[in-house]
Amino acid sequence: MLSQVIADVFTPANIQYLIIGLIITLGIAVCTVLLSVLIGSVLAICRNYEKIILGKIAGVYIEIFRNTPLLLWILVCVFTIRGGNPLLRGSLALVLYTSSVIAEIVRGGLNAIPKGQFEAANSQGFRFHQTIFYIVLPQCFHKIVPSLMSQIVTTIKDTSFLSQFAIMEFFYRSRIIMSSLSQSVTVTSLHVFVIFLFVALVYFVINFTLSSFVHGMQKKALTSY
């Protein structure tokens, strides 16, 4: 019976359909994190080193996005922005939200850089932005690589929210398969369970691999002191 169910669910066409969905999910997650690292770093530098206008704006942005649900921003972007397709608008929400989280991660990294580094760079004739680019940021990113990687895990999980808005990512596609299955076979509870188990397993394998890698890096960083 189980083998029949598996044969029903995992037809070559379905597998191909799901793989494309998985690529979209991973693509969204990676692009989101890359863009968010860029925006988040700018926000963090503003909040830490410019306390007048830009720093205040960055602070307000970070606090607003960190203290409201991601789903709210997805709804806002998907329903109120005109132009673009749902996928772009949904991803925009992810970027806006993730930027605020990454900004705080980067700030943690920046705060760990001793003040003496700034003074030393200054005495060598470095300008402020040179100090940031050549001295502070490289050390900061080296420190926060594990946190950034686990943010990829979080973002991969977060993309599943997009399935609610007909964005063709992995979970949405598996829901499509679930509902279209009834056209060809009589759907039993086993079919649904197999699909859910498969979806969970795929997310699990990807995220577990990433987070094990992160743990390994953290351990290595701890023992290298």
Partner 1 sequence: MSNGPFALWRWARLFNDRGVFAEGLLTTLLVSALALSMALIIGVVLGLCSTSRNRILKTVARVYVEFFQNTPLVIQVFFIYNALPMIGVRWDVFTIGAVGVGVYHGAYVAEVVRAGIHSIPPGQSEASRAQGFTHLQTMWYVVLPQTIQIILPPLTNQAVNLIKNTSVLAIIAGGDLMYRADSWASNGALSYAPAYIVTGLLYFILCFPLATWARRYEERLKSRDIIHEPLEEVVEC
Contact residues toward partner 1 (CB under 8 A) are 63-64, 66-72, 75-76, 79-80, 101, 108, 146-147, 150-151, 153-154, 156-158, 160-161, 163-164, 171, 175, 178, 189, 192-193, 196, 199-200, 203-204, 207-208, 211, 218
Token pair listed for 73: 């921003």
* Nearer CB in complex with partner 1: 63/119: 63
CB 89 within 8 A of CB 81: yes
CB of 146 to partner 1, least distance (A): 7
- In the complex, minimum distance from the CB of residue 133 to partner 1, in angstroms, rounded to a whole number: 25
Q: Which is nearer to partner 1, 128 or 204 (CB)?
A: 204
Least distance (Å) from partner 1 to the CB of residue 209? Answer: 9
Q: Which two tokens stand for residue 106?
A: 């980067």
**Shortest CB 188 distance to partner 1, Å:** 8
Distance, CA of 176 to CA of 111 (rounded, Å): 46
Three-state SS for 224?
A: coil
Of 130 and 154, nearer to partner 1 (C-beta) is 154
For every residue of 127-154, DSSP letters joined together read -HHHIIIIIIHHHHHHHHHHHHHHHHHH
Nearer to partner 1, 21 or 121 (CB): 21
Q: Give least dist CB 185 to partner 1, A.
A: 15
Between 132 and 187, name the residue whose CB sits nearer to partner 1: 187
> What b/e readout covers 156-172, taking b as 16+ CB neighbours within 10 angstroms?
bebbebbbebebbbbbb
Give dist(CA 107, CA 101) in Å, integer: 10
Q: Which token pair is 164?
A: 């609610």
